[in-house]
């Protein structure tokens, strides 16, 4: 418990600080809701914080969707470390490289899965593994490549890809300066948790640079419209 070994004055101070943060989160919720920017439907409670963690409660979506079916995807920069067998034991870090989405994706059918952060609970445990497990189903639907993107640097994304056994089948890349996510209108502000502004949680299917499916989650901790099953159903 928080109070163990602490003077009563310290306990009261910690309780006061938590209450202030929750009050601020509540005010932020109401302000953003008025602008249509927050997907949370009610103020955060202490139980919410305990259950959902920073991704579920302390992240406020900056979602002003700017892309729709039939639109051309943003021409943005992705950075990644190309997979090689030497990376698999974790002793090598590889060399990052960059590409422009219009150059890389032209003439291809690609699935782009965006997450708020590598190794975070929903992303690491629930969101990404099914895409690896169902890789052959995606290929049978004509998908050339799956790209997992986040705000993390390319070295972290590479390590995450290695741990997920993405090898050269699924590319784990960094959305440099959030160019792509800002371009589609889906980022999440996690400054309250000390994480800054990050990529939102969304799925996008592009066929020769044209959007055939785009959907962003209602909150950064949610997993519905961007799941492997949801994307497969739209192919």
DSSP bridge partners of 145: 110
Question: Among 73, 123, 143, 223, which one carries the catalytic annotation?
Answer: 123
**Helix or strand holding residue 206 (H, E):** strand 202-207
For the chain, domain boundaries: 8-61, 77-234
Q: Which tokens sit at 63? A: 């979602």
Q: Mean pLDDT across the stretch 182-191?
A: 93
Residues 6+ apart with CB under 8 A from 184: 65, 66, 67, 73, 74, 202, 204, 214, 216
- Give the CATH number of domain 77-234; options: 3.40.30.10, 3.30.930.10, 3.30.70.2860, 1.10.8.640: 3.40.30.10
pLDDT tens, position by position, 145-156: 999 999 999 999
- Judge whether 179 and 76 are in contact, CB under 8 Å: yes
- Supply the pTM of this predicted model: 0.74
How far is residue 53's CA from residue 57's CA, in Å, rounded to a whole number?
A: 6
Query: Residue 61: which pLDDT band, with cuts at 50, 70 and 90?
Result: low
Q: What is the mean pLDDT of residues 21-33?
A: 37
Alpha helix locations (H) across the chain?
8-35, 46-56, 101-105, 121, 129-133, 135-140, 154-163, 179-184, 228-234
**What phi, psi does 218 have (nearest 5°)?**
-70, -25
Number of Cβ atoms within 10 Å of the Cβ of 13: 12
* Alpha carbon of residue 174 to chain centroid: 11
28 part of the active site: no
Write out pLDDT tens, residues 28-57.
333 333 323 333 333 333 333 333 444 444
Q: How many CB atoms lie within 10 A of CB 196?
A: 11
pLDDT in tens, 127-173: 999 999 999 999 999 999 999 999 999 999 999 999 999 999 999 99
Q: Are 113 and 148 within 8 A, CB to CB? A: yes
- Which is more confidently placed, 3 or 217? 217
Question: How far is residue 125's CA from residue 115's CA, in Å, rounded to a whole number?
Answer: 12
């Amino acid at each position: 418990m928080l109070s163990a070994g602490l003077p009563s004055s310290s306990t009261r101070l910690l309780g006061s600080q938590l209450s202030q943060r929750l009050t601020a989160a509540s005010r932020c919720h109401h302000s953003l809701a008025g602008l249509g920017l927050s997907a949370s439907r009610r103020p955060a409670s202490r139980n919410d914080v305990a259950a959902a963690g920073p991704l579920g409660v302390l992240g406020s979506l900056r979602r002003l969707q700017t892309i729709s079916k039939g639109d051309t995807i943003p021409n943005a920069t992705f950075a990644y470390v190309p997979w090689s067998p030497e990376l698999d034991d974790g002793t090598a870090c590889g060399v990052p490289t960059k590409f422009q989405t219009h150059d890389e994706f032209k003439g291809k059918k690609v699935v782009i899965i965006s997450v708020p952060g590598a190794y975070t609970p929903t992303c690491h445990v629930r969101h990404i593994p099914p895409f690896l497990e169902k890789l052959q189903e995606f290929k049978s639907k004509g998908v050339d490549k799956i790209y997992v993107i986040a705000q993390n640097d390319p070295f972290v994304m590479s390590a995450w890809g290695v741990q997920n056994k993405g090898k050269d089948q699924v590319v784990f890349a960094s959305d440099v300066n959030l160019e792509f996510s800002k371009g589609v209108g889906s980022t999440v502000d996690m400054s309250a948790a000390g994480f800054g502004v990050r990529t939102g949680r969304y799925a996008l299917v592009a066929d020769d640079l044209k959007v055939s499916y785009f959907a962003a989650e209602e909150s950064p901790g949610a997993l519905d419209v961007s799941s492997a099953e949801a994307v497969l159903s739209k192919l």
